[in-house]
Amino acid sequence: MERSRRRFLAVTAIGLAATVSLAGCGSAAGNTTGGSGSGSGAKQENITLAWWTNPSRTKMTQQAVQLFEKKYPNIHVTMEYAPWSGYWTKLATEAAGNSLPDVMQMDASRLNEYVTKGRLMDLGQTAVDTSGESKSTVSLGDVNGKLYALPVAINAICYIYNPALLKQAGITYDTSKSYTWSQFANILIQIHQKLPNVYGATDDIWQGAPLAYWARTHGQSLYSTDGKSIGMSQQTLAAWFAYWLNLQQKGGVVPAQQNSAYTHSDLQSSPFLKQQVAFTYMFIGEGPQYQTGLGSTIQRVLYPEWSQSSKPYMLHPSMYWTISSQTKHPKAAANLVNFLENDPQVSKIFQNDRGITANVKNMKADAAALGGIVKVQDDFMSQIQQIASPVPLDPPNAGQLNSVLKTIGQEVTFNKLTPDQAAAQFIQQANQILAQGS
């Protein structure tokens, strides 16, 4: 699903899988012979690192790689990065050609798929260092008893709102209250009634993470236990489509045309930053980008019905580091993973861009040294951890449901499908895709 967490400011169009080579220590871009110290006699190794990105993440990761090449002058890292959707297209092409990058940023929605197809190395057979993370965090990268992925950070969805717009509308939002879905919808509609040029929120109708949360607040799961089909009922899914369609009709969310032009992973296009909506959803790690883009403080709030005894809130491994099963440089790849995961200087560069830092020592050190929004993010995550429960990994092929949900969701917003028809179509198509992944 279109995991959003991948969102971005002042975006320049990064070409599909822009490939950039940076040699270490000031070497010219495109130099494939490595960084300084190549004359030391050590065997030169060239590895590739791939990640989905946004402009700020690109710069952060480039800085980290430069530090890595300085520490390991015999290892040169070629960097491949792309926006969310383009990243997976390119990775699939490389997988088909048996040319996957040595180290890859991986998402939970794709991890099972890449493991099932034998694309990833068992990190338990490498020198990857997991000692900085809690056992529960490390276990999030475990598939069938083997560690295939090392969580970079922990993340969770939340809503943010623009306090200035709510004040202008004369609406008070109690951040400690567990609103019902219905109460939340009424607030979004009231915003539009008070401020006709502003809508309550962006439309989540085709966003996978909020849909999974909706299912959990209805006592169900997005996927079946065996991962071979959709787990939520058609009735619950139809209610999801109906919920957002009702909001659209009453100004609680943006109109269909505006919604279709917006991609959550493209922060520049966000109606929230344009102050056209008061609320939007995000992953916690995205906070600094939204706040910077808005130019004023944002307010984080929990999703509706978070206080249910079933603990519907979800904790996600926001991203993983993985190593290709076909890498010819497993030691160099493990060195890079360890550096990106555990180096204190790198942690301060990354801050919480990829979510709340998984390395506990680094997380605490960053909060103490950086304070500000980093500490705000950490504190909010601590609040979520008290009310959340873990979720199983998405089944193989789950990543392919992004486009299905988006297409069907759009047809609902344009009144080409009723919520009931949309639910039936989504379940039918999704079940076919999931069955093929088992």
314: nearest Cα among 380, 243, 392, 376: 392
pLDDT tens-digit profile of 297-312? 999 999 999 999 999 9
Average pLDDT of the chain?
88
The residues pairing with 388 across neighbouring beta strands, listed in sequence order, are 313
Average pLDDT over residues 138-144: 90
Measured CA to CA, the distance from residue 156 to residue 209 in angstroms comes to: 9
CA distances from 421 to 220, 409, 411, 418 (A): 20, 11, 10, 5
Reported as a pLDDT band with limits 50, 70 and 90, residue 37 is: very low
pLDDT in tens, 265-283: 778 789 999 999 999 999 8
DSSP state of 253: B
Write down the pLDDT at residue 352: 84
Q: Which of 15-19, 78-82, 288-292 has the highest mean pLDDT?
A: 78-82
Query: What does the pLDDT look like over 389-432, one tens digit per residue?
Result: 878 888 988 888 989 999 999 999 999 999 999 999 999 999 99
pLDDT of residue 315: 82
Note the Cα 43 to chain centre separation in Å: 36
Distance in angstroms (rounded) separating the CA atoms of residues 208 and 219: 17
Mean of the pLDDT values across residues 174-182?
A: 97
pLDDT at res. 41: 62
Give SS3 for 77. strand
- Radius of gyration of the chain from its Cα atoms, rounded to whole angstroms: 22
Question: What band does 136 get if pLDDT is binned at 50, 70 and 90?
Answer: confident
Report how far apart, in Å, the C-alpha atoms of 11 and of each of 102, 127, 259, 352 are. Answer: 27, 36, 19, 19
Query: If you average pLDDT over residues 367-378, what whole number do you get?
Result: 87
| % of the chain surpassing 70 pLDDT | 90
Give the model's pLDDT for residue 15. Answer: 31
- Residue 438: pLDDT band by 50, 70, 90 thresholds? low
Nearest in space to 160 (alpha carbons), one of 181, 175, 144, 178:
175
The closest of 438, 173, 413, 121 to 301, measured between CA atoms, is 173
